[in-house]
Each structure stands twice: as C-alpha cells, then as structure tokens.
Structure 1
Amino acid sequence: MRSTSICVVGSLNADLIAYVGAEGSAASYATGSNFEMAAGGKSLNAAMSIASLDPTVTLVGRVGSDDLGNFIAGTLRARGITTDGIIRDDRTYTGVGHVRVNPEGEYDTVVVPGANGNFSAADVDAYLNGHEPPAFVVLNLEVPLPAVRRAATRFRELGSTVVLNLSPVHSEARTLLRLADVVVMNRSEACHVLDVPPDTDEHLLLTALREAGAKTPVLTLGDGGAVALDGNHLVEEKVEPIHVVNSIGAGDSFLATMVLAMANDHPFAVSLRAANQAGRLVCSRSESFLTSDDIRQIENVIGVPLSKGSITASQASESIRR
C-alpha cells in the first residue's frame, strides 16, 4: 500500500470533444474543425494534474466494465496513477462528457453520469477501510451528494484537510459549506449558492460565504484571477491574459495546483498564485491537465519549487484550520 499526500474522490468520464469551426452553424447543424476523445471528469483532471508533481496521488471513483473504462484506466496507468481506488461497475457504462468547444475556447457540456451516478457513501467507507487517510482530500459535486457528504465527513474526522470544489453547483450545495476546510467556486456558482445578483461584489461574496459556513472560501474570476479569505486576510491574485484554446480543464488544474502547493506547506497567497498560472497554462492548449513542463513554468512564476516534500494529515490540518 502506498502512502499519499493527496486523494481525489469523484468523477471519471470519457470526454468526446468537438471543436466548432469558425464558420459557426446554420439552423441546428454545426460543422466541427476537430474531434478528440480524452479521459476527463473533474476528479480525473485534477488527479492527472497533481500527478505531474506528486505520483502518489490516489483517485477514487467508478467506471464501467467497458472499452471506455479500459481507456480511462490505461490513461491513468500511463500517468503513473494507481487504479486500485477505481471500481469497475458491471451495472452500467462509463460516464461520458459530450463537449463542444467554440472558436473562443469556451465550452458547453452534456454529461451522462453512467458509473459516476452509482458512486456511494459505501464506496467511500470501503476505500478508507483499506487505506491510510491522506493529508488532503479533493472533492467536487459530479457524483451523488450523499457520497460527497460522507467523504467530507469521514476524511475530516480522520484528520484530512477537505478541499471542496462546489461545482457543478445545485440547490443543496450550500449544505456542504461547513463540511470543508477550503471551498472553491467561481463567481456565478457563489451567486447561485447565496441567491444574490450575478454582479455582487466578490468581497461581499466572500464575506457571505464565510458567514454561511465556508472556513476558507476561494473565488475564481476567470481572467480576473482569484480572491480568497484566509483567516482574517483577504488574498487577491491577478493573472496575465492568454489566448484561450480550450478552457475545459482550467478550473480543475487551478484546484489541483492550489492543493499541491498547500500540501507542500506554501503560504496561501503563493498557492493561489501557482493555481492562477496553472489555469492559464491549461487554457492555452487542448489538453485538460498539467504536464511536468507546466510545473516548471509555474515554479518560475512563483519563484520557488512547488515540492517541499509531502506532509502528514495532522500537519496539514493544523496549518489550514488555524
């Protein structure tokens, strides 16, 4: 059994990506300029990015016993990620994301959950019965809410620092705010959770999220960077604009790099700066996760190595929960 600093729990999809041509569409028919199939899902994307620096990252979730499940497993193994936390589900197919990317790099997605929809609280318990708790666990809302709630509760009880990406947002998302140590979302997700106008000032959003139970709320602002409340300190990090090719993995790479930096005991402002750069790099190409070359570029921006050596769950909790 390998020890790990970071465990990512949640969704694994096969992404079927169509790039819409510059000529646009006529009626309900659009002509594409390119097609790709990629391993995806918020959790898989985050784990793939984390593995660029930390090959001990563990990914926990479900795929079907089908060719798409085989494709995902092969992609993970090629990246050096262990697949012993992946359940093969004989009852259904692997989750699929039908993604359409426009010429500006923005996308819309139809997600068919498949095996992700069967991920359960029992799966969380089964994993923890056979593995030591990590320093950090990363969650999102692409699997059923009871499983997310169970994971946040159990991992936190065992000393892990819980980082929750409140996406894709839905009506019950607010009930999870108190279960995580760090909560990450974009502006529109925050406005939805708080039921406030979409142009609400980000500083007011952070304060309202804190009052609603988010211990360390983080808002991603696209090309505006990111802002957060770290204790009583407002942290603001800007980002240089870049030509966007594909924004599919931007949020997942942001999240992964922020957690990587936190797991290596960097100050929170440095973690946000590194995360901003990660999202920027991923937007500049078609792949939805980071490479080792990206890690070196991020380190050049923040001025220090990302890796300081892994830390224990108790050390991480003490640092984040001060």
Structure 2
Amino acid sequence: MRPTGVCVVGSVNADLIAYRGAEVSAAGYATGDNFEMAAGGKSLNAAMSIAAVDPTVTLVARVGSDDLGNFIIATLHDRGITTEGIIRDERTHTGVGHVRIDPQGEYDTVVIPGANGNFSPADIDAYVEAHDPPAYVVLNLEVPLPTVRRAATRFRELGSAVVLNLSPVGAEARSLLRLADVVVLNLREACHVLDVPLNTDVLVLLTALREAGAKTPVLTLGGGGVAALHGNDFVQADVETTVVVNSIGAGDSFLGTMVVAMANGHPFPLCLRAANEAGRLVCGRPESFLTTADVRHIEDVVGVSLANTSVGH
C-alpha cells in the first residue's frame, strides 16, 4: 500500500511571549507592551498549520506531566489533531520557549528543552512499530540529533519522504543533509552550514547544498521569497511585502504548507508559492500557525484547493 498523510516528528513547547517596548534602560531593563502564552515549538507549529488543510496530520513528540503539557494537549485537541503520538514524560517538565519580540516583530528565544531533550531513538522505534508509515515526515533540529537521524533513517526505509528543516542549525547539521529528500533552511543557516559569506549568490548556495547531499534544497529568503533546486530546475517565488508583527512560526508555517501541498500532489512551484503566502500571513499577526480562513486565502492566491489535486492543474 502506498503511504499516505503527513507525520511531524520533533519539538513542542509552551511559548511564554513578551512583546518588548521600544525603550530599554541603560541597565537593560525593558518594559513590555503585552504578554501571552501559546503552544509552540517548530513541530507543533508545522503540525497546526498542516491541520488547517489536513486534520489527519499526526504529531510525535514529548511533553511533561504538568500543566503546560495539559495546555499543549488541549491545544492539539482543539485543532482536531490526534494526541496518540504524544508521550507524557514523568521525569521532567514540558519544553518552554521564553520569547521576546521587539517592536519590528523580530524575536529572540531562550529554549529550555525539558521533555524535548528526552525524545529518543527508542521513541521513534516504538512509534514506527505501531503505525503505518506516512507519505511525508517532517523533522527539525529542536530535539536530540540521534533522534532526528533515527527518524530520518527509519521512515525512509519504510518509503516515507523526509523533509528536514535544518534549524536550529548546529555543528553537525551538514552531516544530516544526505538523510532527507527535501532540506529547508534560511540564508543565514545555509551560509553557516557551508561556511561561506552571507553575500554568497543564492544559486551558488543551492548548488553547494546539493553537492553536500541535499537532494532538493529549499532556501527561504525572508522578504526575498524562496529559491530551490528541484530536479534540474531552479525554482524561485517572490513574496508580497507585509508589516511584520511577529515572525515566530513563519518558517514553520511555510514548511507545513509546502509539505501538505506536496503530499496532495501539487506541482512544486505551486507548493512554494503557497508556502510563501503562509509565511507572510503568519508574520502579520501574533499567532504562530495557520487557520482554516488563512488556507482559504492561500487557495485564492494560488488558484487551487491545497487539499484537492483534481482541479486547477
């Protein structure tokens, strides 16, 4: 049987978000304009955005047996995402992201991994043995690298296509390029992995990523859109300018939209266009993932239903 559906494997956090005011004192004291708690983490953000198109998406991750874990579970239930792949960790707390957003919408984060740090290769093995393989698996580097390696290896052996978001980038990131069918990263991450200057030409970067093992490298360029090598094609897509409110989750929503469009058989350039619009929408508001209303807007922009490949091609 041909694998179907999308599975996101990796990190979930409770994000504690402070919106910082414009004034900072000489002692480093800043007054915030707002505070909120949100379900987050790269994997949860991607899964939530995918669920706006396909609620059958699955999420495999760890949370603590605490109030923050309950908050994560309730958020997933509200979106209709099954929580059978969520492991309750009795040894530690749910992962936390302490996020500060500046007046320009850019952010920095202190991540306390908590249960994410205990996400293990054995967890991958247990899930694989109990479930049918998905068509696509989405990974990132917010959980231990041995777990990412095991997930990429096991799911590929079972026929799943592996999409790896090479973020947050670290010393061993380059060694993972060959383990994925599609690798997504931003300009700064690409230059770090390849150890080249930030002004390196985009096509040069993509070619170097492919030579290093990335079968289909996808390079997000912020306001410059996206560029990729897909087969023999150099693919680019622009993005409309937007006022940035909060850039948390923009890359994750880009990733989730691209993958769910690919899983539903859409042409790769259309997948990138839809993903660009998803990232743009999320940048323009506090929430870090897509809604069903966002999906309808994206479908208007690209001219097809993301969940239906029978029209518009």
TM-score normalised according to structure 1 size: 0.94
206-215 or 3-12: which moved more?
3-12
Distance verdict in 2 for CA 1:70–1:309, change over 3 Å = farther
Matches within 5 A, 1:265-276: 265-276=265-276
Distance verdict in 2 for CA 1:4–1:63, change over 3 Å = farther
User: Are 1:230 and 2:211 an aligned pair?
Assistant: no
Matches within 5 A, 1:1-322: 5-308=5-308
Could you say which residue in structure 2 is the equivalent of 1:315? none
Q: Deviations over 1:176-204 (max 9, x none)?
A: 10010000000000011111111111110
4+ aligned runs moved over 6 Å, structure 1: none
CA contact (8 A) 1:57 1:81 kept: yes
Q: Deviations over 1:189-237 (max 9, x none)?
A: 0011111111111110000000000000000000100000000100000
* Residues in 2 aligned to 1:309 and 1:72: alpha-carbon distance in whole angstroms: 32
Aligned residue identity for 1:35: F
Identity fraction in percent: 76
Aligned residue identity for 2:185: M
* Residues in 1 aligned to 2:25 and 2:218: alpha-carbon distance in whole angstroms: 37
CA contact (8 A) 2:266 2:309 kept: no
Aligned residue identity for 1:37: M
How far has the Cα of 1:25 moved from its partner? 4.0
CA contact (8 A) 2:14 2:41 kept: yes
* Residues in 2 aligned to 1:250 and 1:193: alpha-carbon distance in whole angstroms: 21
Aligned length: 308
Q: What SS does the corresponding residue of 1:21 show, helix, strand or coil? A: strand
* Residues in 1 aligned to 2:60 and 2:309: alpha-carbon distance in whole angstroms: 23
Aligned residue identity for 1:149: R
CA contact (8 A) 1:184 1:220 kept: yes
Q: What SS does the corresponding residue of 1:141 show, helix, strand or coil? A: coil
* Residues in 2 aligned to 1:72 and 1:101: alpha-carbon distance in whole angstroms: 22
Could you say which residue in structure 2 is the equivalent of 1:313? none
CA contact (8 A) 1:6 1:137 kept: yes
Aligned residue identity for 1:121: P
How far has the Cα of 1:27 moved from its partner? 2.0
How far has the Cα of 1:254 moved from its partner? 0.3
Q: What SS does the corresponding residue of 1:279 show, helix, strand or coil? A: helix
Q: Deviations over 1:107-162 (max 9, x none)?
A: 00000000000001000000011100000000000000000000000000100000
How far has the Cα of 1:53 moved from its partner? 1.0
How far has the Cα of 1:16 moved from its partner? 0.1
Q: What SS does the corresponding residue of 1:219 show, helix, strand or coil? A: strand
CA contact (8 A) 1:4 1:57 kept: no
Aligned residue identity for 2:48: M
CA contact (8 A) 1:19 1:101 kept: yes
TM-score normalised according to structure 2 size: 0.97
How far has the Cα of 1:26 moved from its partner? 3.8
Q: Deviations over 1:242-297 (max 9, x none)?
A: 00000001000000000011011111100000000000000010000000000011
CA contact (8 A) 1:62 1:87 kept: yes
Q: Deviations over 1:42-74 (max 9, x none)?
A: 000000000001010000010000000000000
* Residues in 1 aligned to 2:297 and 2:42: alpha-carbon distance in whole angstroms: 23
Aligned residue identity for 1:56: T
Aligned residue identity for 2:295: I
Aligned residue identity for 1:136: Y
How far has the Cα of 1:309 moved from its partner? 6.7
Structure 2 regions of 5+ residues with no counterpart?
none
Over the residues paired in the alignment, what is the CA RMSD in angstroms?
1.1
* Residues in 1 aligned to 2:216 and 2:85: alpha-carbon distance in whole angstroms: 28
